[in-house]
Amino acid sequence: MTLRLGLGVFGMQSVPQRPDHHVQLYRDLLDDAELAEGLGFDSIWLSEHHFWFDGYCPADIAVAGAILGRTKRLGVGTAVMLLPMHSVQKVADDAATISRLGEGRLTLGVALGYRDAEFDGFGVRRRDRGKLMDSMLPSLAQSCNSCDPPIPVYVGVATAIAAQRAARLGLPLFADSTMNVAELREMLDAYNAAAAEAGVRPPATHALQRDVFVTDDRERDWEMLLPELRYMRRQYGGWSFPQEPAETVQAYLQRLEADIEAKLKNLIMGDAAEVAARLREFEALGFGLIVCRSQFGNLPRENLHRAFEGLAAVCEEVSR
């Protein structure tokens, strides 16, 4: 089986270090989708968050509709939709229509979500998210499976518990970008054990998200990337473990920084051959689709396109 490479994830954020207007950001995204199709990528992936100052994209299926309209071959996926906050009926009905109009090119990645403010905005108790996922996921999977062609559903995971939930339904995983090889291996073991216990045949492959930057000048690009990576990791870190009421800003930043440093180490950076070799390691674990994120924050267009072109060379390399 050929390793497929997707491009993403895109959040269309108007970041403080380069605050483009959203009209421009969405125009750029549609241009990038066309470029990705031309460069031979398998798919493009969109991320979802709500009520954040940089305007992180809150409505993936609407964006997917636009991309499917602009392109002819490229797949479009959500990575990931925060299912417990949504009406599962709405998601299923929206996806069915857009998949049909998009001629079967839509894929849904769904996950729990974790940011309190988002759950609170929609009137959902964050602590109910597991139970909600347990009730929504089978119904969404069934609905997607009844479409013609069926809509693939991946389950976003960063823990063994979440992987076991997906395993019981035989749904493939969409593994978080911050997990290292040992963690991924452990999670896949938990997945396979749960699938066996439930008498479910596991899917042939899973999907994985990775931060990847293809470059012919590591030092030059690292200097450019670092502020953007820090912004992105600080934001996600801030959502995962927010500042405690009694904690000073200084103490909080120190706590965040430790997490950022650890996660920066997961970035795969190098020339096309080096990156291809690293991605092959994940393929060997059982990941047949790798969604490569090269857009961190809001990189200058020329740098981003150079990285996309480099990734396209990786696409060729891994398909040999």
Partner 1 sequence: MRLGLGPIPLQGATRQALEALAATAVASSFDAVWVGESRADGVGGGLASAAMLGQLVPIRVGAAIDAGLYHPLYLAEDIAIADLTSQGRIEVLLRFGTPASSRYEAPTEQSWFEEQLQVFAAALSGAHIHWSGKHLRVPARIEANQPAPERLALNPRPAQPAVPIWVESSERWMDDLARRFGFGVSGRLGGGVKVPPPTGRWPGMLLCPPDVEPKALLDAAGDGAGYFLIGAQTPHEVVTAGRRLAGALRMPDFPEWINA
Which phi and psi (to 5°) does residue 154 adopt? -110, 150
Among 37, 42, 94, 211, binds partner 1 (CB under 8 A): 94
Q: Which residues pair with 18 in a beta bridge?
A: 15
Measure the CA–CA gap between 86 and 11, rounded to whole angstroms: 18
Residues in Cβ contact with 43 at an 8 Å cutoff, skipping those fewer than 6 apart: 4, 6, 7, 8, 74, 75, 76, 77, 105, 107, 289, 291
Give 86 or 233: the residue with its C-beta nearer to partner 1. Answer: 86
Residues in Cβ contact with 174 at an 8 Å cutoff, skipping those fewer than 6 apart: 79, 80, 109, 111, 154, 155, 156, 157, 206, 207, 208, 209, 291
Applying CB under 8 A, which of residues 16, 53, 131, 142 lies at the interface with partner 1? 53
Which residue in 31, 93, 223, 261 binds partner 1 (CB under 8 A)? Answer: 93
Say how far apart CA 219 and CA 223 lie, in whole Å: 6
Opening angle at CA 175, ends 169 and 176, nearest 5: 135
Q: Shortest distance, CB of residue 59 to partner 1, whole angstroms? A: 4
- The region that residue 157 occupies, defined by phi over 0 for left and psi between -120 and 50 for alpha, beta otherwise, is beta
Distances (CA, A) of 107 to 43, 46, 291: 9, 11, 13
The helix (run of H) or strand (run of E) holding residue 110 is strand 106-111
Please tell me whether residue 239 binds partner 1 under the rule CB under 8 A: no
Q: Report if residue 89 touches partner 1, rule: CB under 8 A.
A: yes
Q: Should residue 125 be labelled a site residue for partner 1 when binding is judged by CB under 8 A?
A: yes
Least separation in angstroms between residue 320's CB and partner 1 is: 33
Q: Which stretch binds partner 1 (CB under 8 A): 51-59, 160-168, 183-191, 299-307?
A: 51-59
Furthest-apart CA atoms within the chain: distance in Å: 55
If the CB atoms of residues 62 and 198 are measured against partner 1, the closer one turns out to be 62
Shortest Cβ distance from residue 58 to partner 1 (Å)? 4
- Nearer to partner 1 among residue 55 and residue 130 (C-beta): 55
Site for partner 1 in 3-42 (CB under 8 A): 12, 14, 22-23, 25-27, 30
Q: According to CB under 8 A, which one of 170, 238, 242, 288 is a site residue for partner 1? A: 242
Tell me if 64 contacts partner 1 by CB under 8 A.
yes
Select the residue interacting with partner 1 from 59, 161, 196, 284 (CB under 8 A): 59
Q: Which of 102, 109, 270, 310 binds partner 1 (CB under 8 A)?
A: 102
Q: Residue 74, interface with partner 1 (CB under 8 A)?
A: no
The 10 Å CB-count burial string (b at 16+, else e) for 19-33 is ebeeeebbebbeebb
Applying CB under 8 A, does 199 fall inside the site for partner 1? no
Q: Assess 45 for contact with partner 1 (CB under 8 A).
A: no
Bridge pairing between strands 106-111 and 81-82: parallel
Tokens matching residue 207: 């999907």
User: Which residues are at the interface with partner 1 (CB under 8 A)?
Assistant: 12, 14, 22-23, 25-27, 30, 50-55, 57-59, 61-66, 68-70, 86-87, 89-90, 92-98, 100-103, 116-117, 119-127, 242, 245
